[in-house]
Amino acid sequence: MIRRAGHVCSLNASARDSLPSPSRRIPKSRRCVEVRGQLVKSLWSSIQGDPASMQRVNGWLTIFWIAMIPISIATGWINSVAYVASLSIWALVSDHWSAWQAARVEVAQRKEEERRAAEDMAGEIVERVVEETDVERHR
């Protein structure tokens, strides 16, 4: 566990193993960032594999951004060029990310269809062989 100025970062076994030897120490602040980065990546990868979790996360993000509309008007952020530019960048990133996710699902579906078609082809071949064998037996 790393304690530093008001926050605590815990290291799991893989994070501890990835740290350099004591002769080449990483500053504590950088270690905390690395641990948080690893935690976020592992959490995100576990969520991303589950469609129900992704739906839940995207639902909460939608509610967050809807709530940000009156907040940004009330605080005057809407008049800030940096804020509007950040929102535009976020909109572009989220749009491309959702299109990538949809394409990824389509690719997975196509692969599944191809796999099933290949399985059916094998079944058809077996049926033909069995039918030919039965026909030859009856001759």
Whether residues 56 and 104 fall in one domain: no
Closest CA to 101 of 41, 34, 49, 37: 49
Residue ranges making up the domain that contains 30: 1-48
CA–CA dist 29, 97 (Å, integer) = 30
Instruction: Indicate the average pLDDT of the chain.
Output: 76
Higher pLDDT, 27 or 2: 27
Whether residues 57 and 90 fall in one domain: no
Sign of CA dihedral 56, 98, 35, 29: negative
Whether residues 73 and 89 fall in one domain: no
pLDDT category at 85 given cuts 50, 70, 90 is very high
Sequence-ordered list of residues with C-beta below 8 angstroms from that of 83, at least 6 positions apart, any chain = 72, 77
**Contact in structure between 31 and 9 (CB atoms under 8 Å):** yes
3, pLDDT greater than 50: no
pTM: 0.45
Whether residues 88 and 35 fall in one domain: no
Residue 1: the pLDDT is 45
For 39-68, how does the pLDDT look when each residue is reduced to its tens digit (9 = 90+)?
777 766 766 667 778 788 888 988 998 999
Whether residues 106 and 66 fall in one domain: no
